[in-house]
Chains A and B, each alone.
Chain A
Amino acid sequence: MARTVRTHRKTLNTALAWGIGLMMFFPILWTMLTSFKTEAQAISDPPVWFFFDWTLENYRVVQERSNYSRFLWNSIIIAGGSTVLGMIIAIPAAWSMAFVPSNRTKDILLWMLSTKMLPAVGVLYPIYLIFIQLGLLDTRIGLTIVLMLINLPIMVWMLYTYFKEIPGEILEAARMDGAGLREEILYVLTPMAIPGIASTVLLNIILAWNEAFWTLNLTAARAAPLTAFIASYSSPEGLFYAKLSAASTMAIAPILILGWFSQKQLVRGLTFGAVK
């Protein structure tokens, strides 16, 4: 009897949850489907769902007309570059705060967090001006640096919460055995820290890939990544839903896949370790 009730409830939960899940995912699914339609099918009323002539034409046109791969390359360089650069700076910082804490560590961590809270629009013009002065406007290097800086607090925080979980006794034991700082980092800490580092890298690639304030305001034609490329579809000519869909699908697919791997780390990273 109890078992039937339980199965019954489980069925109900499943139906409800799948219904909501599909609703949430629907705009993405619809975009993906539309990307394989012709422009006429894309706007047809009643809409066509699965039974249409699947075509790759839109993907070809997007690539040919707008040189899609250049924007993709910019996105990869900027997201990847800012993450690598950020990690080089964040790992030592997080390491030192986690293992050699001073009485100011907490203040420094919180202060770093506060720089993340600085509204971008408040410093838009100075950054814009500095970029012009230094010839960084519409360059990949300029954008890489800015994205590295805006995500640096999250990187340090996330790494810090991971490093904090590495037991200190292991370090002491290594020191007893006469390991120097270098050996300690290389042979003891690194292997234990790799999962945390990987998670941090993943989350930061996602954040940098989707960043859409600085990428829109500091780039024009040369260094524009996918966020800016997609924004160029806001003033379209003629029928463009299928092409917009194709461009969008290509822009979000890689990050969607990375994102699914990083669900758990996302919580830790975006709440600064406050929810684990």
Chain B
Amino acid sequence: MSTKASRSAARLMLAPAVILLLGWMLVPLTLTLIFSFQRYLPLRGGFQGWVGFENYVRFVTSSAFWPSVQATVIIVGGVLLITVTLGILLAILLDQPMWGQGIVRILVIAPFFVMPTVSGLVWKNMFMDPNNGLLSHLWRFFGADPVIWLSDASMLSIILIVSWQWLPFATLILLTAIQSLDSEQLEAAEMDGAPVLSRFWHIILPHLSRAVTIVILIQTIFLLAIFAEIFVTTQGSFGTRTLTYLIFQRVLESQNVGLGSAGGIYAVILANIFALFLMRIVGKNLDR
């Protein structure tokens, strides 16, 4: 169909994007890979020789490593559990007939558009502050001692903040998926007297499974990288130092670039595992 001329023109049009992304991927990644085999301390003399896999070994054997893996798993897992479960329920609710549906949808989606530093600081100060936060007022109102959220329940606090940001995303995608469900099928099931729970279990949930998988994969990739929410609240203390935050501290705060780069390579590998699954699903979608 396409002529030779248009094909080479097409290639020319594609080139800038490919070249830029190739450079953006290869140059820094190669540098990280090179640094990871070096003893490299910019503040103490810079390059101090090649060390093989020492950084990789030291990164995983340091006392901070396993707690950071644990923190990452708990935060990502907790947020996924909350956002996917509530997201499914909320999407089903929003799909029902009601008054003011458009406005409700806007209210539910709004948190997604709040920049991470704002949501981190607003929650930290105006809600979770043990003296002046709204939650401490509430606790005192019921005669309870206010919770010192970000130190005594640090993980729960971070999970709450991040879930608040990502629940709209899950809801919106699942709602879009529900709306593509054949309503005749549901009505037929209702006519046949299938109870609500069985309709949910046998029709809605299977229909949503692909969308749920996509939500889980995309959120996992973004959640593994959360940074600002921790940066402005706990700064990685009280057990909230995730893998991402640990690498950030190694690289920029303690300026141990070799060690941090080895950690960075681990993070790249980890993200790629999830990315592979996501790409398989997205790729299948392209064929249709």
Interface residues of A (CB under 8 A from B): 6, 9-10, 13-14, 16-18, 20-22, 24-25, 27-28, 30-31, 34, 43, 45-47, 89-90, 92-93, 95-97, 99-100, 102, 106, 108-110, 112-115, 117-130, 149, 152-153, 156, 168, 172, 181, 206, 209-210, 212-213, 216-217, 226-228, 230-231, 233-234, 236, 240-241, 244-245, 248, 251-252, 255-256, 258-260, 263-264, 266-267, 270-276
Say what secondary structure dominates the interface of chain B.
Answer: helix
The answer to the question of B214 belonging to the interface, with a C-beta cut-off of 8 Å to chain A, is yes
The answer to the question of B221 belonging to the interface, with a C-beta cut-off of 8 Å to chain A, is yes
> Are B107's CB and A213's CB within 8 A?
no
A119 with B121, Cβ < 8 A, contacts A20-B93, A252-B114 known: no
> Are A90's CB and B17's CB within 8 A?
yes
> Are B127's CB and A27's CB within 8 A?
yes
A20 with B123, Cβ < 8 A, contacts A14-B98, A118-B271, A275-B176 known: no
| Residue of B93, B106, B118, B283 with most partner-chain A CB within 10 A | B118
The answer to the question of B164 belonging to the interface, with a C-beta cut-off of 8 Å to chain A, is yes
Across the two chains, which residue of chain A brings its CB closest to B107? A21
> Are B283's CB and A102's CB within 8 A?
no
A selection of 29 A-B contacts at a CB cut-off of 8 Å is A10-B97, A20-B108, A28-B111, A30-B126, A93-B13, A93-B17, A99-B10, A106-B283, A113-B278, A117-B275, A117-B278, A119-B271, A122-B247, A123-B28, A123-B264, A124-B251, A125-B31, A126-B31, A127-B28, A156-B17, A231-B117, A231-B121, A234-B121, A240-B125, A241-B125, A252-B113, A255-B113, A259-B112, A275-B214
Q: In the bound complex, how far is the Cα of B107 from the Cα of A108, in angstroms? A: 38
Known: A210-B116, A267-B176; 18 extra A-B contacts, CB below 8 A, are A21-B108, A24-B164, A28-B111, A28-B114, A89-B17, A92-B13, A93-B13, A110-B279, A119-B225, A124-B248, A217-B248, A226-B115, A241-B125, A241-B126, A245-B126, A255-B115, A275-B173, A276-B180
Residues of chain A within 8 A (CB-CB) of B157 are none
A17 with B93, Cβ < 8 A, contacts A110-B279, A230-B121, A231-B232 known: yes
> Are A17's CB and B227's CB within 8 A?
no
- Compute the total of residue contacts between A and B using a CB distance below 8 Å: 313
Residues of chain A within 8 A (CB-CB) of B110 are 24-25, 28, 256, 259-260
Contact among A27, A122, A230 for B29, CB-based, below 8 A = A122
Q: In the bound complex, how far is the Cα of B181 from the Cα of A117, in angstroms? A: 30
A27 with B164, Cβ < 8 A, contacts A20-B93, A149-B24, A259-B109 known: yes
- Contacts of B88-131 to chain A: CB distance below 8 A: 90, 93-94, 96-101, 103-127, 131
A27 with B6, Cβ < 8 A, contacts A122-B247, A231-B231 known: no
Q: In the bound complex, how far is the Cα of B134 from the Cα of A244, in angstroms? A: 15
Residues of chain A within 8 A (CB-CB) of B264 are 119, 121-125
> Are A231's CB and B228's CB within 8 A?
yes
> Are B17's CB and A152's CB within 8 A?
yes
Residues of chain A within 8 A (CB-CB) of B98 are 10, 13-14, 17
